[in-house]
Each structure stands twice: as C-alpha cells, then as structure tokens.
Amino acid sequence: MDFLPLYFDLKNASTLVVGGGEPAARKIELLLRAGASVKLCASEPVKSIQAVINSGDVTLVSSIFNEKLLDDVVLVVAATGNTDVDDGIATKATARNLPVNVVNRAKSSSFIFPSIIDRSPIIASVSSSGSLPVLTRLLRSKLESAIPSSFGRLADVAGKYRDQVREKFPDLNQRRRFWEHHLEGLFAEKIFSGHEEESKLILESSLKSDEFKPGGEVYLVGAGPGDPDLLTFKALRLMRQADIVLYDRLVSQPILDLVRADAERVDVGKERANHTLPQQQINELLVTLAKQGKRVLRLKGGDPFIFGRGGEEIDRLSDEGIPFQVVPGITAASGCSSYAGIPLTHRDYSQSVRFVTGHLKDDSCNLPWLDYVQENQTLVFYMGLVGLSIICDQLIAHGMRADMPIALVSKGTTQDQKVVVGTLSTIPDIVKSEKVKAPTIIIIGEVVGLRNKLKWMN
C-alpha cells in the first residue's frame, strides 16, 4: 500500500496553499468544503481564487513564499507548478512534520488528495496513488452511480437512533441484522424518495416491536429499450435490492443480469395473442407478493407509463394500500430513434411528435387517422408491425403522401438493432423481404430522411 487512507478534521484549522493557478484553486475548494481556514501565497491568483479572496473565505498572506508562512499551519499544499519551488516548500514542511501535498507529484508529497464521493457524513474516496488520475476518475464515476445522492441523509437519520438500537439489541449480531434489514429496506427507500418522516415512523415502529415484520413494497421500473447503459441510477439501485423480479419479454438479458443474483425471477412476458400471465393475474401477483413482505421489482421494457400498463398495476396496488415507487425509463421511441440517427423533432421538419399504439385492447387498429395526417409532425407507432400494411394504407387513404418516409427500428439500442427505411407505399413489401421481427418501432415523417446523414450506430 503506497499511501494509508486517512481523514483529517480540518474544521477551523489553519492551512497554507502556495500557488495561484487552477490546480491551487481545486485544492482550495476542497479545503474550504472541509471547513479549513485557508492562507494563500500567490502573486497572480486566477479569477476563481480572487473571488474567494474577495469574499473573505481565503486570506492572501504573501506573493512570495518564505518559511515563516509555515508557522501555525497544520497542512501545506505546494501548487506553484515550479518543480524546484514546490520541492523546496515540501522539504521545509516535512522538516516541521507538517503534512504536505505537491500537486500532481505524489513522490514529493507526504499525502495526496483522493477523488472524493461526498455524501456527508458518508465520505468515500479512491486513489491511484498518483499514478493514473484518469483511472481514479473513472472509478469515482462508478461509485457515484452506485451511491444515492441522499445517502448522507440516510446516515443522519439512522445515526439518531443508534443508541436506541444498541439498548434494544445488546447483542452485536442482533444489531447487525436489524440495521441490514432497514438500511436495505423500506426505511432507506422512504428517505431516498423524500419521505423522511415516514422513514422515522418505520424505524420507531420496528423498535417497539418484539420481532421484525418487514413491509412489502413494489418497484415499478422502466428498463429502457435494451441497452443496459441507458438504465437510470435509481433503477440500478432498486434492481440490486429486490427480493423477487417480475419481468416482461422486452427486458433484455444484459439488463436481467444486473438484477441481484439471489433474487427470484418470474417471466410474465406478453406477446400478441400469447400472454405468459394475463394482466389481471400480474396485478394480483404484485399484491400477493408485497403482502408477504417482499420487495417486488416489476421490470418493464421502455417506460412503464408509456404503453406499459404501469398505470393499471399501481392502481391495483393503491387500492390495497401497498407502497410503490415508479422509476421512469427511456421509452422505445426516444431510445430507438436516437440510436437509429432519426431525431423525432427538428425545426425544419417536425414541431410535434405523437406516440401511438399500433393495436387497441380488442386487437383492432381503429384509430383517428385524420388526426395523424398533419404537416410537420412525426408519428411513432408502438406494437404496429403486424398491422403495418393497415397503418400505411389508412394514412394514405386519409391524405398523407404515399412517398412519406418511414423507418422500422427492430431491437433498437441493442447489438441486434436493424433499421429498414422506405416510404408508406413501399415499406410493406420491403418488410417482407427484410424479415423484420418484433419488437419494432415505426417512425413516420420527414425526419426519417435525416438518417443517412445522422446515423452513428451500425
């Protein structure tokens, strides 16, 4: 281990920064965030440093370094960029047993600044020991995505109950089980979703009880169109803590692989005229599982509120008083069009966009066609592959140009993405020869013509 990770309490402590450039500015910002009192030695501070000098947060003590500046400080940062000057400062500071950091030169430093994930009072840090800062930033970004922004509030609220929990559970293993249950359960989720008072009631109720009685909850999560990189941070967090997962056929395998390994998985996928589980039974299953105290992940392709029947499911949960969360996902129209290089709106070609389901509840295609035949508009049909010929015929019959560009995006955003382009009059025959398969999004409008120039994914 090249460096021992330590955390300094610098509240109101006197520190010295030598240097007035951007590297010095970044260190000053960190020191101020830690509550330190910062003295500065610099001849020509950059604007950001001058601003904190003007505000009184930083004291400019000298323009030229001299050893007397080391009196009464507890930490030193050398950031002049001049190797000889910085090494000289480091030598003098080390002789006084003062921690010193020479910016971007770990070998001359007695400590280094890590990359910080600040969820105060929770603080995480990573470092490459100064060898490759870019790698450190990449690792930090991964940690940032895994640690909710309100994690600090979780620590604050839970910390207030620490003594009560210790008194209730004198045995260490009992306390551990109690905290694991609540810090990964409904108590934590209430804080993350902004319901702090409810979270306190959950913890207080549990402390009054003689045994744990975990409450169930349902997470209605949009998995996006297929590419796992398009998942939201919140979706990933809930996917990794659910006890059981009910997923649709549109959820790709790489996304399913991100679900907690020991979670039970139930395929409730629905295809046209082939429902693994009817919608009503899915609704009741969600209720049953939640009442058993399980954390239920309802994982849907795209966005659960855009042709995903999410409203029907949470309506049933609401009737039963079961808590739920809804996490939006990137809907197929947005994801597939972006990956196909087709902007849904464009100032020159389309000022509005309509999302339309290709078949109704009774499997008909009885739609208000006249409303769809408008200039400067983009139409996106979901679940319309089977009725493609009807869609094209009806649009033409109601006044849309037969040569209006149309694109079909099959398995969009995945490695199997396929894009077929034609016109309303030609696309039915093209699809027969191209053997396009579901799931497929249909995009109709002048914006389709931009694909040849804007496509970026093959």
383 is in an annotated binding site: yes
302 is in an annotated binding site: yes
Residue 217: its H or E element: strand 217-222
Catalytic residue among 86, 227, 243, 248: 248
DSSP states of 97-112: T--EEETT-GGG-SS-
Q: Clarify whether 363 is annotated catalytic.
A: no
Catalytic residue among 168, 200, 270, 418: 270
301 is in an annotated binding site: yes
303 is in an annotated binding site: yes
Q: Clarify whether 348 is annotated catalytic.
A: no
423 is in an annotated binding site: no
226 is in an annotated binding site: no
Decide: helix, strand or coil at residue 287. Answer: helix
Decide: helix, strand or coil at residue 452. Answer: helix
Comparing CA positions, the residue from 293, 264, 278, 439 lying closest to residue 358 is: 439
Query: What is the sign, positive or negative, of the torsion defined by CA atoms of 277, 279, 280, 286?
Result: positive
Amino acid code (one letter) for 392: C
Where does residue 130 fall: left (phi above 0), alpha (psi -120 to 50 degrees), or beta otherwise? left
Comparing CA positions, the residue from 246, 236, 223 lying closest to residue 296 is: 246
434 is in an annotated binding site: no
C-alpha span between 215 and 117 (Å, rounded) = 31
C-alpha span between 30 and 66 (Å, rounded) = 24
Comparing CA positions, the residue from 305, 328, 338, 358 lying closest to residue 409 is: 338
Residue 14: its H or E element: strand 14-18
C-alpha span between 427 and 388 (Å, rounded) = 9
44 is in an annotated binding site: yes
Half-sphere exposure of 90 (CA within 13 A, CB side): 22
282 is in an annotated binding site: no
Burial of 11 (C-beta count, 10 Å sphere; 0-12/13-18/19+):
exposed
C-alpha span between 53 and 70 (Å, rounded) = 20
> SS3 letters for 339-394?
HHCCCCCECCCECEEEEEECCCCCCCCCCCHHHHCCCCEEEEEECCCCCHHHHHHH
350 is in an annotated binding site: no
Burial of 434 (C-beta count, 10 Å sphere; 0-12/13-18/19+):
middle
148 is in an annotated binding site: no
Residue 385, token pair as written in the block: 């592959």
Residues annotated in the binding site for S-adenosyl-L-methionine, as ranges? 225, 301-303, 306, 331-332, 383, 412
Residues annotated in the binding site for NAD(+), as ranges? 22-23, 43-44
Q: Which are the catalytic amino acids?
A: 248, 270
Residues annotated in the binding site, as ranges? 22-23, 43-44, 225, 301-303, 306, 331-332, 383, 412
